[in-house]
Chain A
Amino acid sequence: MIWGVLQFPGSCDERDALHACTLAGGEARLIWHEDRDLGGVDAVVVPGGFSYGDYLRAGAIARFSAAMEAVADFAAGGGPVLGICNGFQVLCEAGLLPGALLRNEELRFICRQLDLEALDALTTPEGGKDIERLSIPAKHGEGRYYAPDEVLDELEAKGQVAYRYAPGENPNGSARDIAGVRNEAGNVVGLMPHPEHAVDPLTGSTDGLKVFRSLEKFAG
């Protein structure tokens, strides 16, 4: 399995994501934002950071990059795409995922290890529906998930809420404690917390590996 990790000017977590992908299993390489060709990778990670400085609005400029055009095609073909933090914002801006990420309720950046509930089959290769708790750090200033109520109802009905903050753990005022969502087909997933920073027992936990591995089943 070959993972491709996009790199924009202003990306911060791309090297960490690269490392996490290799630990999850497989090879990983960076994909420069100006590349229209993804080079035949099996899965794409849109990493965290502040792409293009997050000027205008988080993710608003990155979505127009050549690499994101390629990612849209790749996703349409059923290829697995994981957006983390800024990557989640980019995927929402690109219309590959529903909803938007707004300023945190308390208007401050927050960095905290917290518990997530993985709500659907995505996290278990076996296709189980069990809620699994994951300890993963979140770090963002604009992570409050928002969508109109009818959209939220539909996401819940279709099982598109991939990750929720565990009770009492919602750090940013996200609607219905939503930490991450997926598209209807399930191959495009975005979440605000950082699974790539939860791959080493020395730095906190290894629960993040499950998030990466949950995408393997969509790989060509």
Chain B
Amino acid sequence: MTTATPKYRELGLTDHEYELIVEQLGREPNDVELAMFSLLWSEHCAYKHSRKLLGRLPTEGERVVMGPGENAGAVDVGNGYAVAFKVESHNHPSAVEPFEGAATGVGGILRDVFAIGARPIAILDSLRFGELDSVRSRHLLDGAVRGIGHYGNSIGVATVGGEIYFEEPYEHNCLVNAMCIGFAKTADMVRAAAAGVGNSVVLMGASTGRDGIGGASVLASAELGEGDDAKRPTVQIGDPFEESKVLECCLELLEKGLLVSLQDLGAAGLTSSAGEMASAGGVGIDLDVALVPLREPDMEPFEIMVSESQERMLGVVEPERVAEVRAICEKWQTGSAEIGVVTDSGQIRILKGGAVVGEMPVEALVDGCPLYDLEPADPGEWIYGNRVTLAPGASAEDELLALLAAPSIASKRWAFEQYDSVVGSRTVRRPESADAAVLQLPESGNAIAVSIDGNGRRVACDPYAGTVEAVLECAQNLACVGAEPLGLTNCLNFGNPEKPAPAWQLDRAVTGLADACTALGVPVVGGNVSLYNEGPDGPIYPTPVVAMVGELPDPAQVAGSTFVAAGDAIALFGPFSPTLAGSELTKQRGELDVGLPTPDVEKVTNACAMVRDAVRAGTLASAHDVSDGGLACALAESAIGGSVGCRVDLQPLRERGCSPEEALFGEGAGGFLLSGERSALEDLGAVVIGAVGGTTIEIAAGDRSLVLGLGGAESAWRSLGERLA
């Protein structure tokens, strides 16, 4: 005889968690309550395996306007304005249905930003797929890029940057992390806390359907596996037109001061937005599902409460202003319905036509989920595969060509040309013209720069050092455009935290993130955690995606990353001691192993400050950080982008103890490739290694010296598009 699996287990709750729910309710939950608990107590909503770790992160700073816990973080940019930003993952939906998964990822992150009253001004995205020779990876890449473009282009928010890496461990579980930047008058911003007993709860935007039911628990909080096609109905469908209307509507409502508070409906739909608003405000909320506009007439109360239909917002409104709010919704041709009321009961009560169908204490629902300690264990060895793609004994020229053509390093023009990068008239630096995107803010009289980064392969080699490097790379990218960091957000994409190796990776990465941010003095103003990213072959590379926003005083004083004029001197700057550990070259040789040198954060921070000052003073012609593929690739990128060759000698790196290969292709934090007048570079303390000019890339590096025609280098670097055609 077999016993049927209890329903709560199918919904992802453990026996212990279910017992806790019964204890807190004083009875067994009914179906509505069980559905709501199972979602809010899921990993995706409750952060039950990560919340304890996240307490290590520094969150305070002079410029912080909103920190973790709000829909998005925000920093002060002066003159009464603030910049809001957040990154969020939509990995599992994208792995099942890449177009809609990525599109709704963008839609969701936009809502997080306008929910606090900021107008979205830019999108960036961070994508990870399996190797490009996989049909599945090309399908996911194509769908995700089209989906991001579809949503961002249609709603009129510029996609200004991002990154894409291709690595075998993402084959089954791709990563789609979307970031949105918003701009607001600080005085107009709004928090998500419900307040004012007796105030009305108004649902705005699209109607509610059966799409995305259980997305947070079914998709986002469990491993992917066989039969994922059957999960396709849990992926939401996006409608950027609907969002465009609800966006303009909400911004008008906030500008007119008509909303007490505002919250978007994301994962777990009405359940989480109502729950979180009530929890943040220390109040109760009564909601009547019979008042929710539906796409289908016969939806059950639990379906209405957990539906993840997109393009919906929940506002709290004083009763006498409801008519005015609804009139503005009508002007924007978007829906509105008064579905509930703020109470002093401390309970979330769900009614259907006045009859109570569920009643739970807000505290139990939102904060009652047990938090777990991880049981981390260092696997002590390389737990991922190795694949040889570069023939042993290749010449230095062939190695450079192979690296430039590596999909993770090659130009991403194929992708970013599918995105509107200019709408909004703020984009001073478009993709691939500088190390960071630069957006002008005429209203506050300055500009911001944004960089997003996270090399999972290097984090896999050493989760601590790799994460520190990701933070430093962002800081270096900002320095290259003359920006000073104001704040950081992140999305932690890891495997199953209940397994010891991913738990160890997560633990070490969060410590690295905390240490690097503390040393840099950059507060973490928000974040997102995506766990259970695994395929049949095991976990993904641990991938903390880090996004940093910085300020620069004058958008006219921004260095590009490409060489400008023949005759300019080329110099190396910063505490850069590259090694082949975790490098793209080592990957192609199939020799990846654990271990990475730990960067000296203080020295890199000082170098960033000096580069930043030089850029602001206008003394540099170009500034580029040395990253994937090492100095040789950085040189090639600057040369190709500037349509001019270069001739350098890497002897100074040899003198730091680097082998010729390490000097050419070694990776590590702290390196800047600068060009400009020789005297300016020397004043900075940079080591001049050569000059811009000619039509070849000539690099002297002992017995690995190389000469490559600019044309050949460019064809390799621009080969991504034809390989995807």
Q: Chain A contacts of B149 at CB under 8 A?
A: 109
Chain A 1-44: CB-based contact to B (< 8 A → 1; otherwise 0)? 00000000111110110010000000000000000000000000
Q: How far is the CA of A12 from the CA of B157 in the complex (A)?
A: 8
A10-B245, A109-B153 known; A202-B428 Cβ under 8 A:
yes
Contact B418 A203 (CB under 8 A): no
Indicate if B384 sits at the interface (CB-CB under 8 A): no
Tally of chain A residues near chain B (CB < 8 A): 30
At the interface, is chain A mostly helix, strand, loop or mixed? Answer: mixed
Contact A19 B423 (CB under 8 A): no
Q: How far is the CA of A53 from the CA of B556 in the complex (A)?
A: 36
Indicate if B333 sits at the interface (CB-CB under 8 A): yes
A110-B418, A139-B420 known; A10-B425 Cβ under 8 A:
no
Closest B residue to A201 by beta carbon equals B556
Contact-residue size bin, chain B (C-beta under 8 Å from the other chain): 20 to 34
Contact B241 A52 (CB under 8 A): yes
Q: Chain A contacts of B420 at CB under 8 A?
A: 12, 109, 111, 139
Chain B 132-167: CB-based contact to A (< 8 A → 1; otherwise 0)? 000000000000001001100111100000000000
Residues 331-349 of B at the A interface (beta carbon under 8 Å) = 332-333
Q: How far is the CA of A118 from the CA of B76 in the complex (A)?
A: 44
Contact A139 B556 (CB under 8 A): no
Q: Chain A contacts of B240 at CB under 8 A?
A: 50, 53
How far apart are A2's CB and chain B's nearest CB, in angstroms?
A: 21
Indicate if B199 sits at the interface (CB-CB under 8 A): no
> Which of A49, A52, A111 touches B422 (beta carbons < 8 Å)?
A111
Q: How far is the CA of A194 from the CA of B421 in the complex (A)?
A: 12
Q: How far is the CA of A11 from the CA of B428 in the complex (A)?
A: 22
Indicate if B244 sits at the interface (CB-CB under 8 A): yes
Q: Chain B contacts of A129 at CB under 8 A?
A: none
Indicate if A200 sits at the interface (CB-CB under 8 A): yes
A110-B418, A111-B419 known; A19-B245 Cβ under 8 A:
no
Contact A108 B154 (CB under 8 A): no
Contact B239 A53 (CB under 8 A): yes
Identify which of B156, B416, B422, B555 gathers the most chain A CB atoms within 10 Å of its CB. Answer: B422
Contact A139 B422 (CB under 8 A): yes
How far apart are B38's CB and chain A's nearest CB, in angstroms?
A: 35
A50-B241, A52-B241 known; A9-B332 Cβ under 8 A:
yes
> Which of B422, B427, B556 touches A194 (beta carbons < 8 Å)?
B422
A16-B425, A50-B154 known; A202-B418 Cβ under 8 A:
no
A16-B424, A109-B153, A203-B427 known; A53-B440 Cβ under 8 A:
no
How far apart are B147's CB and chain A's nearest CB, in angstroms?
A: 11
> Which of B241, B421, B430, B555 touches A9 (beta carbons < 8 Å)?
B241
How far apart are A144's CB and chain B's nearest CB, in angstroms?
A: 16
Contact A9 B245 (CB under 8 A): yes
Q: How far is the CA of A13 from the CA of B440 in the complex (A)?
A: 17
Q: How far is the CA of A134 from the CA of B149 in the complex (A)?
A: 26
Indicate if B426 sits at the interface (CB-CB under 8 A): yes
How far apart are B336's CB and chain A's nearest CB, in angstroms?
A: 15
Indicate if A217 sits at the interface (CB-CB under 8 A): no
A111-B418, A202-B556 known; A139-B426 Cβ under 8 A:
no
Contact B425 A9 (CB under 8 A): no
Chain A 37-62: CB-based contact to B (< 8 A → 1; otherwise 0)? 00000000000011011110000000
Q: Chain A contacts of B426 at CB under 8 A?
A: 203
How far apart are B668's CB and chain A's nearest CB, in angstroms?
A: 34
How far apart are B436's CB and chain A's nearest CB, in angstroms?
A: 15
Indicate if A197 sits at the interface (CB-CB under 8 A): yes
Indicate if A204 sits at the interface (CB-CB under 8 A): yes
Indicate if B417 sits at the interface (CB-CB under 8 A): yes
> Which of A9, A55, A139 touches B244 (beta carbons < 8 Å)?
A9
Q: How far is the CA of A11 from the CA of B156 in the complex (A)?
A: 8
Indicate if A176 sits at the interface (CB-CB under 8 A): no
Identify which of B244, B245, B420 gathers the most chain A CB atoms within 10 Å of its CB. Answer: B420
How far apart are A66's CB and chain B's nearest CB, in angstroms?
A: 14
Q: Chain A contacts of B556 at CB under 8 A?
A: 202
A53-B241, A108-B146, A111-B418 known; A139-B153 Cβ under 8 A:
yes
Q: Chain B contacts of A13 at CB under 8 A?
A: 156, 423
Closest B residue to A194 by beta carbon equals B422
Indicate if A186 sits at the interface (CB-CB under 8 A): no
Residues 356-409 of B at the A interface (beta carbon under 8 Å) = none
Q: How far is the CA of A55 from the CA of B150 in the complex (A)?
A: 13
Closest A residue to B241 by beta carbon equals A53
Q: Chain B contacts of A110 at CB under 8 A?
A: 417-418
Closest 6 CB pairs of A and B: A12-B156, A53-B241, A197-B422, A139-B420, A16-B425, A50-B154
9 contacts between A and B (CB under 8 A): A16-B423, A16-B425, A50-B241, A50-B244, A53-B244, A108-B146, A197-B423, A203-B425, A203-B440
Binding site for A on B (CB under 8 A): 146, 149-150, 153-156, 239-242, 244-245, 248, 332-333, 416-428, 430, 440, 555-556
Binding site for B on A (CB under 8 A): 9-13, 15-16, 19, 49-50, 52-55, 108-112, 137, 139, 141, 194, 196-197, 199-200, 202-204
Kindly list 5 other residue pairs between chains A and B, CB separation below 8 angstroms, not including A12-B244, A53-B241: A9-B241, A108-B418, A109-B149, A109-B418, A203-B422
